[in-house]
Amino acid sequence: MSEKRQFFGTDGVRAVANRHPMTPEFVMRLAQAAAVVLGGKGEGGERPKAVVGRDTRASGEMLESAIAAGLNSAGVDVILAGQLPTPAVAMLSEQLGANFGIIVSASHNPFTDNGVKFVHGNGRKLNDKTESAIERLVLGTEDTPRPEGRGIGRITKLADGVDRYVAHAVSSMGGVRLDGMRVALDNAHGASSFTSALALEQLGADVQVFHSEPDGFNINEECGCTHSEEIERIVRQCQAEAGIAHDGDADRGALCDELAIALDGDELMAIAAESMLRKGTLKHNTLAVTVMSNYGLDDLVSRLGGRVIRTGVGDRYVLEEMHARGLNFGGEQSGHIIFGDWATTGDGLISGLQVLRIMKETGEPLSELRKCLKKFPQCARNLRVRAKPPVDQLVEAQKIIKETEKKLGDYGRVLLRYSGTESLIRLLVEGRDVEYLEAQADKIASAVLAQIG
């Protein structure tokens, strides 16, 4: 069990901007605490340094300033990278030899929200233990160290962050070009507005750009990867061979085929995993996914001589498993895809490019490539409950679940978990026989409702 945290969620601290805990006062304190936990000592006795980047929200300027002030007051030099995707800040933290990086972003949330997330100097996300250590300092009564004189941190601005990141993304293609390929691009008025089109153009693609005019208030507004209907619309409009849609900080990517049908993260991982297994480039022949991914992935990968391992929900848990096992590929159904040879976190641009690369190498359109994944049928139930006792205390439901899992064997699963924000319990039964799934889902739901409905 991970330590319960008060402010950190699955991806940093996130809230309505200028409302606690996303106020300048709080994020300054958060930065000071991070300086103690992550700062360490700079090389050769120099001050530690941190890279700070942000997405396009209007509140980002205010919070970036507070973070920089907090870091400087704790003796950390700050490199302001400006408006850049989250994976770009992670890459720059490693490339510039920083002790850590900070991203000011609320990802796919509306512009009214904002957030703060951290990466180590190697570009990797923090684990629960490290985030808890930062929280304890924030909530403690003692002041963090305050150097004086020459010990106070300084601020510099990075002029070529976009160029560095774009060059890195282009290099991930290994010389494969996209000359003449028409690609529709939805930047969600977010951080990818400054990077993704440049990379695609350098690779020779005919890029049709949409939602790439950020004004601080239109980020994710009826566009981006959480609005798949929009990338489908613009692919039809442009008669594109493929479409790529990002979220606000571009750590996610959704693709759309030439028939204007969007793909989910499982389909993208299936296409990439099949290609990597055939080439022999998937380390340990293993793909890391969360418990939310369809079991059709397991079926595909096992038939090709590989295996799938599963983690809890959240791309950082996938990343932790990848690092622990020495894997180079994993991701989430939601579109956080990690090509570990090129990125230390989910990267919407690099994952999109890698799929386009497979299209070029095989000569196959996305509508054909996606057919490699035969999704298992699923039956879902969202049940309203009056209480949330531990799931293992739902005695009758657990009895039926065990019977169902035994019957499904290695080709199906049952997931039963509470919603984190509503008085709901979510049930998912997946397997090959739809009639059996429906019947078992009804039995489990009835047992749950009889006890806590």
| Close Cβ partners of 393 (under 8 Å, ≥ 6 residues apart) | none
- Cβ proximity of 241 and 179 under 8 Å: no
Sign, CA torsion 195/246/188/53: negative
- Cβ proximity of 269 and 331 under 8 Å: yes
For Cα atoms 78, 216, 19, give the angle at the middle one, nearest 5 degrees: 75
φ and ψ of 230, to 5 deg: -75, -45
Catalytic residue among 59, 73, 93, 107: 107
Q: How far apart are CA 374 and CA 135, in angstroms?
A: 44
Q: How far apart are CA 346 and CA 125, in angstroms?
A: 10
Catalytic status, residue 419: no
Question: Which one, of 354, 350, 357, lies nearest residue 179 by Cα?
Answer: 357
In 348-452, which ranges are continuous DSSP H helix? 348-362, 366-369, 395-408, 434-452
| Close Cβ partners of 302 (under 8 Å, ≥ 6 residues apart) | 308
The residues that bridge with 52 in the sheet, in sequence order, are 80, 102
| Close Cβ partners of 148 (under 8 Å, ≥ 6 residues apart) | none
How many Cβ atoms from other residues are within 10 Å of residue 47's Cβ? Answer: 20
How many Cβ atoms from other residues are within 10 Å of residue 5's Cβ? Answer: 14
Place of tokens 């972003």: 105
Amino acid at 259: L
Q: How far apart are CA 360 and CA 177, in angstroms?
A: 8
Token pair in block for residue 216: 């601080």
For residue 21, whether the previous peptide bond is cis, meaning omega lies within 30 degrees of 0, is yes
Burial of 63 (0-12, 13-18, 19+ CB in 10 A): buried
Q: Give the annotated binding-site residues.
A: 107, 247, 249, 251
71 DSSP 8-state letter: H
Q: Give the annotated binding-site residues for Mg(2+).
A: 107, 247, 249, 251
| Host H or E run for residue 54 | strand 49-54
Token pair in block for residue 353: 């490019």
Q: How far apart are CA 413 and CA 405, in angstroms?
A: 6
Sign, CA torsion 187/220/337/78: positive
Task: Supply the residues annotated as catalytic.
Answer: 107
